[in-house]
Amino acid sequence: MRLGLVIDLDTCVGCHACATACKEWNASSITAPLTDYDPYGQEPSGVWFNRVRHYEVGEYPNNKTINFPMSCMHCENAECVTVCPTGASYKRPEDGIVLVDQDKCMGCNYCSWACPYGARELDHESGTMKKCTLCVDRIYDQELPVEERQPACVLACPAHARLFGDLDDAESTVSRTVRDRGGYALMPELNYNPTNQYLPPRVRPAIATNDLARPSLARKVKEWVNRVVER
């Protein structure tokens, strides 16, 4: 079994619901509580498992904003585990989830330097490294309904841009979706074999910019703008 996330870049609206839900759930988690620094001050900061980056691609009017959520990829060949001098970073053989033993971590930052995805953050309050756990304390909670045994980020996404499941199961929803949509892993050339996959944005018909020069169309656009302004 290899548990992970599939993120649809065509659907993600960049609302940060995944990041905030993750922060809320893990703020009091027994596995790795997330610290806030000066949360009510002028420069609040803190430790996050999920972060959403934003990129603008293409040329106007055929440009597009890509919202790109990032967290731990739970790599099959996790270099962060290899470089850890204390054995604090480890990969669970039963489901492939990469975790950090907070009792063993000494905050040396080796794992952070080894991770090309920027998925680890040093908690300056505890002096230990924090990272996405795939909500391991939630997905195995037998007291929760089956449909709620998913990472908090998946449950919170309003656009359903995040899927969770077993990527070793060829017939699972996540595996079929990756095949159908041409999903891909980040930086495959590093041979870390990340578990998490991304679905590319769908190709949209290009806007014919030469039509904007036609007098009739330009006049219609101007008339529409004037009506909107008058309202």
User: How far is 27 from 2, CA to CA, in rounded Å?
Assistant: 26
How many percent of the chain have pLDDT more than 90? 74
Question: Does the pLDDT value for residue 20 go beyond 70?
Answer: yes
What residue numbers bound the domain in which 54 lies? 3-230
The model scores a pTM over 0.75: yes
Q: What is the pLDDT of residues 64-108, one digit of tens each?
A: 899 999 999 999 999 999 999 999 999 999 999 999 999 999 999
The CATH number for 146's domain is 3.30.70.20
Residue spans of beta strands (DSSP E) within 9-120: 36-37, 45-46, 51-57, 64-70, 89-91, 98-100
**What average pLDDT does this structure show over 121-133?**
93
Q: What domain count does the chain have?
A: 1
**CA distance readout (Å), 122 to 35, 49, 110, 129, 172:** 10, 11, 11, 4, 34
